[in-house]
Structure 1
């Protein structure tokens, strides 16, 4: 497959994303290829660990390739999108629960679907160029691919802030928020990968790590927590509108460009996850309730039209005034019964 290079080297299973011209955006075929390889390596005693990296300087993976999703959805075919998300989410769970170490090297942009591939492993490495974010609200989705789990487990109300503002996390902030584990300068990566391949010893990542340069968020937590502490989107908006600060004003400006329905549902997902013991499967199941409905009942197709297709940056969102009724959130997150997400392994 030209978009991805899968092989074994020494004691390592190796996955390299190879479409830097598209910022290594994840296609359905790439997703299935990674899934097959990792299931095979899981049972292979000759493989001690898995290494995931990507070609190019700009991005590890800037998200999912959504052209086919838009094309099928605008023709009234919602089955393809549901199948894509279902298989992608099963892969996200596989990586999160993998019994062997998974080492990912996350240079440049890691966004959306890239988070699902690169941020669920056991050893997530960032460098100075790393910028990790969950910008799904801007296209009418919710933070998905298991990203809601990391957001729900981030300190304080950092999760709501990162989701609602699509803030890009540098290396130190990514470690603080739980999207990464180790800072290692990128010029050391090639030698480290060689050692991992020959030894199969993932603890080498720990020994090569060093403290990351201090990020932007550590001094802002005391302001973020009260502003983004609310049971609903409406509560958070009220806090932001009542506060005269640069952070509040910038947050409101950014949120004004996002889908109100998506934001309201995303906030609800985080609260539901925190209300119990959050797990990757629970997070993905809640996300899938939304994404399975996103084309037919949500703002996804309109968000893609405005941001990617027509590029007019003027989406016609539902609930443009951001006053989203509670029953609209309930409808989008209601269980899907027989069509819900399951994690049984299938032959595709």
Structure 2
């Protein structure tokens, strides 16, 4: 499916009859990240090259969507997780509803979230929080935190789509003289259906942004201790804080360190550089030469349904800088895989999220 999406996006961009691309889920979820099961099976059977081929296509798809020259709308009216979340945040227009649930839970499986370019540009270290904890955000939180660009009630989605299709289909070259005009036109239509939803009264990431900024600005080892100190300093229970600490302690230690470094380095990298780096990480994970946490984590959590997983290394303190460095090292000829090559694109994205 991801391969077909890549081919469709390429074809539509060069099709003069296509003025707008809408991406949405066919069912209750936009994407629940189900592709991870197939990739893990390929790795477990020794077909890691096929798993990497899928990863390379995903990187190219993310690059294409983020630099798309035509208006592109992604609508999430259910769960969006893992690679589905990485695709969603690459879109220019990102619509959420009251049914939306966003999560990037890869570290709990021994993996690393994709799209460090976007995550690294979320303010107040929110990207680190989402990537390391795999925390779930609902629709109103997605909008407040900058994950979504618009919030549209689910009951209004059908009317929104109808107006988009009818209005865009009726446009002529005289009506819109440039792609920017078309993007502005699409934005104005979506805004007609958008509302500012109410947030939970308490217990959300939005209400704990000060804690996120204070604690997730630390290095990986210090994040947990900083959160624990925060918990002892407050009066009364804070379920959000307790849940955040538990999520970090259950995650793969090496995944936490890789994810944090990926986001930190992503801040000074362009989109293409981030994707090349993520592909290098995926290659090291696929081959399992440094750690087999991904293969073991997937089996324990999704196949055997056993929530008890022994990570290797088992503690953050046992993950050396040298181990992490290997995940980011350039792919050499003897690695059996080549560096990811991305085509030149002129429409590079600019992400500006304000909280």
Q: What's the TM-score bracket when you normalise by the shorter of the two chains?
A: 0.7 to 0.9
Residues in 1 aligned to 2:66 and 2:245: alpha-carbon distance in whole angstroms: 33
Which residue is 2:149 aligned to? 181
Which residue is 2:109 aligned to? 139
Alignment of 1:250-261 (within 5 A): 250-261=243-254
Which ranges of structure 2 fall in alignment gaps of 5 or more residues? 169-184, 345-355
SS of residue matched to 1:60: strand
After superposition, what is the alpha-carbon deviation per residue over 1:282-317, rounded to whole angstroms, capped at 9, x for unaligned? 222222121111132331101111011212122221
Residues in 1 aligned to 2:278 and 2:34: alpha-carbon distance in whole angstroms: 15
- 2:84 counterpart (89, 94, 114): 114
Contact 2:90/2:118, CA 8 A, preserved across alignment: no
Contact 1:111/1:132, CA 8 A, preserved across alignment: yes
Contact 1:62/1:112, CA 8 A, preserved across alignment: yes
SS of residue matched to 1:301: helix
Deviation at 1:248, TM superposition (A): 4.1
Which residue is 2:18 aligned to? 47
Contact 2:224/2:248, CA 8 A, preserved across alignment: no
Contact 1:81/1:292, CA 8 A, preserved across alignment: no
Which residue is 1:213 aligned to? 198
SS of residue matched to 2:162: helix
Relative contact order, CA 8 A, sep 6+: which one is greater? 2
Bigger mean CA offset, 334-343 vs 309-318: 334-343
Q: TM-score, normalised by structure 1?
A: 0.84
Which residue is 1:326 aligned to? 321
Residues in 1 aligned to 2:5 and 2:277: alpha-carbon distance in whole angstroms: 23
After superposition, what is the alpha-carbon deviation per residue over 1:73-109, rounded to whole angstroms, capped at 9, x for unaligned? 1222221111110011100110110000111110111
- 2:309 counterpart (300, 312, 315): 315
SS of residue matched to 2:137: coil
Is the alpha carbon distance of 1:239 and 1:49 closer, same or farther for their aligned partners in structure 2, counting shifts above 3 Å?
A: same
Which ranges of structure 1 fall in alignment gaps of 5 or more residues? 1-29
Q: Quick check: which one's helix share is greater?
A: 2
Which residue is 1:66 aligned to? 36
Contact 2:150/2:194, CA 8 A, preserved across alignment: yes
Superposition RMSD in Å: 1.8
Which residue is 2:353 aligned to? none
Deviation at 1:260, TM superposition (A): 0.5
- 1:249 counterpart (230, 242, 245): 242
Contact 1:150/1:177, CA 8 A, preserved across alignment: no
Residues in 2 aligned to 1:237 and 1:286: alpha-carbon distance in whole angstroms: 26
Contact 2:227/2:245, CA 8 A, preserved across alignment: yes
Is the alpha carbon distance of 1:214 and 1:123 closer, same or farther for their aligned partners in structure 2, counting shifts above 3 Å?
A: same
SS of residue matched to 2:207: coil
Bigger mean CA offset, 197-206 vs 238-247: 238-247
Tell whether 2:5 aligns with 1:34. yes
State the structure with more CA Rg.
Answer: 2
After superposition, what is the alpha-carbon deviation per residue over 1:53-87, rounded to whole angstroms, capped at 9, x for unaligned? 12223x11111423332222122222111111001
Deviation at 1:318, TM superposition (A): 1.1
Tell whether 2:257 aligns with 1:264. yes
SS of residue matched to 2:70: coil
